[in-house]
Structures are given as C-alpha cells and as structure tokens.
C-alpha cells in the first residue's frame, strides 16, 4: 500500500486543518464534521491526520487498548493483560455500508453453541478506542449504525448483546465525519455529537489551485517519494501537537474569556450548554497550540466560528455558517471584568477546563519550544488569518420574495408550514429498501418479526428457532453430554423489519386556477411541510409541475430537500391545466428511477383540484401511472361551496387515496392514509 498524502502538503483548507489540529491537541473537543462538495480533498486531509497524533501507551496482550496507567478491570481481555507497550495512534474508518457486527464486534453464537467456547471478535469501536473513528459520507450511514454510534459516544462504552450473552468494553474516540450536504443532512442528535464543523470548498484562487494540482500530480506519480519529502515537516507538526497537549492543562480560561463564550452562545441561540463547553475546550486548545498560557478573544472568536454553526436553532433550509458581524457585535457587548488574579478553577470535565489528555502525553516529545508552535502559520493559520470575513449566505431570494409586494404573475411565496400526516407506502418492502424512516421494510436492523432459513451468509441468528429446528434430531444424532448437537441445516436467520426512505415524487398543478386567490401560497406551504417531513424521514424527493401545455421536471430525484424547497418557492404559476401530461411525466420519472435505485419504493403525491383544461382527460394517463406500482396520494385542492370531486375520482383512478388539503395536517388526522 502506498503512503497516504502528507498533512503538511495540504494547501488551503485552513479551517479544516485548524479544526483537526485543535482536536489532536484536545480530544475532549469531540471531533469534527466536515461539510463540502465532492472533489475538495476533505477525506484526504482527514486521513492525513493519523500521522500527526501522538502514540498511545497500551497494555500488552489486550485487544481493547487498555491504558497501562488504569487498565479496565472489566476488560474482556483482563485475564490476558501482560505488561505495557506502545502503539501508534489509529484512525479507524467506518464504511457506510458496514454491518452491525463490524462496528460493535461479533459474538460468534454458532461457535459458542456448538463448542461451548464464548467467542467475541472486537469490532471497529474497539479498534478506535483512544483514537479517531472516521466516517466518510457520514450522512449516508444507516440509522441503526448511527444509533449504536450515538450510544457508544454517549457512554464511552460499547455494549454487545446476543440472545442473553453480553460483552462490553471501553470505546472513547474522536468522531470525524465528512459529508456532501447535497446528498442529505444529518440527524440532529448525530450532528450535536461533533464538537466542531467546517465547511470546505475548493479555492477560487488560481495560484493556489495550481499548487494543489502540482502537488497532487507529484504525489500520484510517486506516492512514497512524495510522502518522504514531507516526512520531516509532518514529524515537526506531530511534535508541536504533542507539545501543545502537554501545555494544555496549564492554559487558563479567564473570567472575561468565559463571559465572551457564554455571551456568544446566548447571542446565537444555541441549544443547551454543550456549545459553551465545546467552545471553551476549543479556545483552550487554540491557546495551547499558539504556545500561550491564557485564552484570548481571538481564540474565543475562532472557537465560536467552528463550534457554533451547527448548534444554532435553524430550519434545515437556512444557510449554515455564522454571521461575522453578529459575532463581532456579540463580542463587543461583553462588559470588561474587573482585573484580578485569575482564580484556579475546579478541575473536571464541567469546570471549563478540559480533562487532561489521557492519551500519549507521556510518550510525546517535550523539547518543542513555544516559539515554533506559535510560528506555524504555514499549517495552522493564526486566528487573525482564520477569522477574515468570508461571504456568508445570509439573505435568500426566498426571503426577498416574501417581503416584496406581490406582483401579478410573480411566484407566490409558500404559506405557513405544519406537521403533516405520515404518508406511507403500503405493505412491507421485502427487498430491504433504502435507510430511512417512512415505510416498512425488511432489513438487517429493526425489530425482530420472525425466523427463516438463511438466504445467504447468516447475518443474525434466531436462537430459539435454531434450537427448535435441532431438537427433533438430538436422539438420532447421538447426543450424549449436555451440549446440543447442531448442524448447519438447523440454523435459522432472524427476520427483522425497520423503516425505509422512499422516493417522494410531487406532481404539482401550477395552472392559473390554482394561482387564484393566493391558493398557490397554501399549496406551496403544504408541499413545503411535506418536504420538511421528507427531510426528516430521509427520503429522496422530486418535483414535477404542470401548467400551460406541458409538464416540467422542475427537480430531478435528489436527497437535497433544500434544493426542492428553493425550486418550490420560485415555481411560476398560471395558464391552462395539462393534468395528463403531469401524470405521464411522473410515470417516466418513475421508470428511470426504478432502474437507477431499484430498492427504493416510490410515493407519488399529486397536488391538484382534479381539473384539466389542456390535453386529454386524465383517465388513461392515471391508469398508466398506476401500473408503475407506486403508491399514490392525491391532495385535493378544490375549494369553494360547490365541489366537483374530481380529485377524489383521480385518486381512485390512480389506485390510491385522496385527501383534502386541510386534512394533510397531522392535527386533522383522518387515518385514511395511515395504511401502515
Ligand atoms: Zn484490556
């Protein structure tokens, strides 16, 4: 295997490098989430971090990386503990498609049952203990793995149980994730687990781009040679990080700095106190990294910029990032604290000082002098550089539309949103489905619903069904002792059922009749509510609009609900109503998606009053769409005293249901569509 790209060869991406260094100096900061489009080398930079982390002293013979200074008495390998040794720090990668066993380790029940030996193979959580756990495309991680990860991160312990046999071991790790926000957002609980977030984008500066490309070419031509030429600078950086770790316990967080932190956190309306703590820890790490023994306002500013963006209360559609001016205003509002001797603060994780680094501080070089640490503008930008104002997307066209007086023919802004009823695809997807939270689907996770003969490699043993299958044969197999005589043919697999995400295809009537009397505003509000719901259920969404003489695929299937919201807001309205065209376009989109993403079931939401004034009557097109097998819901937008009931008939033609716009709200739940 060729050498990884060296950290010190990375050009630009200052925030990302700084965030990683902060965490290397103080693991208590709690990791980094890196957001950015493809091709920004974010994974490369994260992987390069491993070379900078101080080594870890471990107990010999222990697969769970017990600390020789405080070995875990409950360690599964406690009986094999043998002296002390030392190993390099680890950066363990959790692949998005990993099985539960791979993550938490596997209890080999087949072996346990047939030989009586308890067999536990440690998983990635054990490997990552006292190191880094890295998840590329963390937003695509299966819900079930996310839950396991959150449990382990919260407890610092991984707990595995199979049919009453249990094992537990320590699992404390730095969580680093990278993601492309266009492919979907993170669950809030997981988002909150990351200490810092960084947005990355490729530099727009030609000279810098040229350097990036030149270095990349040199690396690809000769990875080992290239890495060797940066080995010394990487080693220097590692030594500086180790030095900063040693300095960290002596760094002081003065009363004024603490006041600055709490003022900022309050100004940006963050949830709970976790943000304040992370900010304090990051500011302390920054001071240690700069070779200072006291936190400054610049440390606080930089820490806030990295620790607060993902903790602000905001809707999924608001732009991420912090407003620099608001940051400065909040800092300016802090009253100076009268000068006095800084008091030593109580130790402990909640005292505003980080826990002393538990890993590797002793193995670290102590020769690093403060000067070099403070001088590393090459690899860690100084706070001044790092806080230069950046363009922050604070105003959206949607906002402007909302405040502008309505012009004739201008798109109507969405009306109020609400919590919609849960629309589900009926039945259970036997093919596994895409991870999500909408409709029922079989899968490797979820609740146990039955047992069957294994269909492939045994994923999850159903113990009682296996024993029941073996029981009738015990006499014939010559069972003598206490153990059960098992054959491979007895094994039964657990069948589990969880939730899947769907493709929610909106087909929206944007004709003139819908645009009348601000009706479209209510319709957009309803669709936006369904989009918010789809975001939480991790669906893919797509949007077709029909008006005048044709139907438009306004938004092809995507996981970016933000994109859908923008297109919806800007949707033009007016003209005739080609309902058939809309339905046929939907059938086309479904046919393509059935090939591209076959396991994902579709839910078509037709938003219309059922009228058609252009093209043929919708009966044939509806039958055609119904044959695609997708579940259909018609949202009936007909209003007024005299109702024609056309949308209800369309619902029947589509083999689905119709519900009135007002019934979409969860409060007006009718139960009709809760077919799950
Ligand atoms: Zn151990």
Cα 478 from chain centroid (whole Å): 53
Of 43-52, 346-355, 506-515, the range with the lowest mean pLDDT is: 346-355
In angstroms, the first-to-last Cα distance of the chain is: 50
pLDDT bucket at 645, cuts 50 / 70 / 90: confident
- For helices 324-332 and 297-307, angle between their N-to-C axes, nearest 10 degrees: 140
Rounded to two decimals, the pTM is 0.58
CA 158 to ligand 1 center in whole angstroms: 14
Q: How close is the Cα of 128 to the center of ligand 1, in Å?
A: 14
Where does residue 444 rank: exposed (0-12), middle (13-18), buried (19+ CB within 10 A)? middle
Distance 77 CA to ligand 1 centre (A): 5
Is there a catalytic annotation at residue 292? no
Q: How confident is the model at residue 338 (pLDDT cuts 50, 70, 90)?
A: low
- Residues 377-388 pLDDT 10s: 344 444 333 333
Which segments of 515-630 are extended strands (E)?
540-547, 550-558, 602-608
The rounded percent of the chain whose pLDDT value lies above 90 is: 35
Residue 111 reports pLDDT greater than 90: no
The alpha carbon torsion through 24, 30, 33, 34 (nearest 10 deg) reads: -10
pLDDT per residue as tens digits for the range 492-505: 888 888 888 899 99
pLDDT at 643: 74
Compute, in angstroms, the gap from residue 85 CA to the centroid of ligand 1: 12
- Encode 31-73 in three state secondary structure: CEEEEECCCCCHHHHHHHHHHHCCCEEEECCCCCCCECCECCC
What is the strand order of the sheet 631-636 is part of? 550-558, 540-547, 503-509, 602-608, 631-636, 657-660
Could you tell me the distance, in angstroms and rounded to a whole number, from the CA of residue 356 to the centre of ligand 1?
21
Q: What is the pLDDT averaged over residues 113-129?
A: 78
User: Is residue 288 within 8 Å of residue 26, measured between CB atoms?
Assistant: yes
Q: Could you say which of 187, 274, 292, 649 is catalytic?
A: 274
pLDDT score of 283 more than 60: yes
Rounded to whole angstroms, how far apart are CA atoms 65 and 127? Answer: 8
**Residue 191: its pLDDT value, please?**
87
- Cα–ligand 1 centroid distance for 76 (angstroms): 7
Q: pLDDT tens digits for 218-264?
A: 999 999 999 999 999 999 999 999 999 999 999 999 999 999 999 99
Query: What pLDDT, in 10s, does the model give residues 426-485?
Result: 888 877 777 777 888 887 666 777 888 877 666 678 888 888 888 888 888 887 777 778
The mean pLDDT value for 621-627 works out to: 93
Q: Which residues pair with 440 in a beta bridge?
A: 428, 499
Mean pLDDT of all residues in the chain? 80
């Amino acid at each position: 295997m060729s050498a990884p790209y060296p950290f010190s060869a990375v050009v630009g991406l200052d925030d990302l490098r700084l965030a990683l260094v902060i965490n290397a100096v103080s693991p208590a900061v709690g990791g980094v989430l890196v957001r950015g489009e493809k091709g920004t080398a974010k994974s490369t930079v994260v992987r390069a971090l491993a070379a900078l982390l101080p080594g870890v002293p471990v107990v010999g013979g222990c697969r769970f990386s017990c600390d020789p200074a405080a070995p875990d008495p409950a360690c599964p390998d406690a009986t094999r503990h043998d002296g002390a040794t030392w190993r390099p720090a680890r950066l363990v990668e959790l692949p998005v498609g990993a099985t539960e066993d791979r993550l938490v380790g596997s209890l080999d029940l087949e072996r346990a049952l047939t030989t009586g030996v308890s067999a536990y193979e440690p998983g990635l959580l054990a490997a990552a203990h006292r190191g880094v756990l890295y998840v590329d495309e963390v937003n695509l991680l299966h819900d079930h793995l996310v839950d396991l990860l959150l449990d382990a991160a919260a407890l610092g312990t991984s707990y595995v149980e199979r049919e009453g046999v249990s094992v537990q071991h320590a699992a404390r790790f730095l969580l680093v994730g990278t993601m492309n926000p266009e492919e979907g957002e993170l669950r809030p609980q997981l988002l909150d687990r990351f200490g810092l977030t960084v947005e990355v984008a490729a530099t727009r500066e030609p000279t810098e781009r040229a350097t990036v490309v030149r270095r990349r070419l040199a690396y690809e031509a000769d990875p080992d040679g290239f890495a060797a030429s940066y080995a010394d600078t990487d080693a220097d950086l590692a030594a500086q990080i180790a030095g900063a770790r040693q300095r960290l316990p002596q760094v002081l967080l003065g009363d004024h700095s603490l006041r600055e932190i709490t003022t900022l956190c309050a100004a940006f309306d963050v949830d709970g106190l976790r943000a304040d703590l992370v900010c304090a820890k990051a500011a302390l790490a920054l001071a240690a990294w700069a070779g200072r023994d006291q936190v400054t306002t610049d440390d606080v500013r930089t820490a806030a910029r990295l620790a607060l963006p993902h903790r602000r209360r905001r809707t999924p559609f608001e732009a991420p990032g912090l407003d620099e001016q608001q940051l400065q205003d909040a800092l300016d509002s802090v009253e100076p604290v009268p000068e006095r001797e800084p008091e030593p603060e109580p130790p402990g994780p909640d005292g505003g000082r980080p826990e002393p680094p538990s890993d590797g501080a002793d193995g670290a070089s102590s020769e690093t002098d403060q000067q070099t640490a403070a001088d590393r503008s090459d690899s860690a930008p100084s706070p001044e550089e790092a806080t230069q104002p950046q363009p922050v997307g604070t105003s959206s066209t949607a906002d402007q539309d909302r405040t502008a007086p309505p012009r004739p023919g201008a798109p109507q802004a969405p009306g109020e949103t609400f919590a919609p009823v849960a629309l589900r695809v009926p039945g259970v997807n036997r093919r596994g489905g895409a991870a999500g939270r909408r409709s029922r689907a079989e899968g490797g996770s979820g609740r146990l619903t039955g047992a069957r003969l294994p269909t492939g490699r045994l994923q999850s043993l159903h113990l009682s069904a296996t024993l029941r299958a073996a029981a009738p044969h015990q006499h014939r197999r010559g069972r003598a002792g206490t153990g059960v005589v098992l054959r491979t043919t007895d094994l039964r697999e657990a069948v589990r059922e969880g939730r899947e995400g769907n493709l929610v295809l909106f087909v929206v009537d944007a004709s003139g009749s819908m645009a009348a009397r601000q009706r479209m505003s209510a319709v957009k509000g309803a669709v936006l509510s369904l989009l918010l719901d789809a975001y939480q259920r991790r669906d893919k969404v797509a949007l077709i609009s029909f008006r005048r003489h044709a139907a438009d695929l306004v938004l092809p299937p995507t996981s970016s609900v933000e994109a859908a919201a923008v297109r919806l807001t800007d949707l033009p309205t007016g003209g005739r109503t080609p309902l058939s065209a809309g339905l046929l376009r939907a059938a086309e989109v479904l046919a393509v998606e059935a090939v591209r993403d076959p396991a994902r079931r579709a839910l078509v939401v037709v938003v219309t009053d059922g009228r058609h004034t252009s093209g043929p009557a919708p009966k044939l097109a509806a039958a055609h769409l119904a044959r695609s097998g997708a579940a259909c819901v018609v949202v009936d937008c007909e209003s007024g005293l005299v109702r024609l009931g056309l949308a209800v008939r369309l619902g029947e033609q589509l083999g689905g249901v119709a519900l009135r716009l007002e019934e979409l709200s969860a409060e007006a739940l009718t139960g009709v569509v809760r077919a799950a």
